[in-house]
Amino acid sequence: QVHLVESGGALVKPGGSLRLSCAASGFTFSDSYMNWIRQAPGKGLEWLSYISGTTTYTNYADSVKGRFTISRDNAKNSLYLQMSSLRAEDTAVYYCVRAIRGYSALFDYWGQGTLVTVSS
């Protein structure tokens, strides 16, 4: 059974940094593209980034390019999102999301999310 558990969400000041983690289980982690998607309070969904199974390919939304870095450790079945230069508009629930094998952004399993609040 696929299980994704995010952690690392916190209250951080504008301009600060934060690292999110996602622990994956129940599938061959290295076979799947993994993504981060966020949802601001009461708002819709925004795709942020993906990373390929072998880490060869990464991609970012313009809103986070140059500020956020996605990475993974296949030996630990873990996905990460390093966030820097955080802004108030980055306040959201951040989801770790698996893509169906063979696709980069066809999302089948989602974690429950971790809340990041950017405020002074």
Binding site for another protein (CB under 8 A): 44-47, 59, 61-62, 95, 100, 103-108, 110-113
- Asked if residue 70 lies in contact with residue 17, where contact means CB atoms within 8 angstroms, the answer is no
Residue 23 or 45 having the CB closest to another protein: 45
CB of 109 to another protein, least distance (A): 8
Query: Which of 109, 112, 94 lies closest to 29, judged by CA?
Result: 109
Residue 13 or 101 having the CB closest to another protein: 101
CB of 85 to another protein, least distance (A): 20
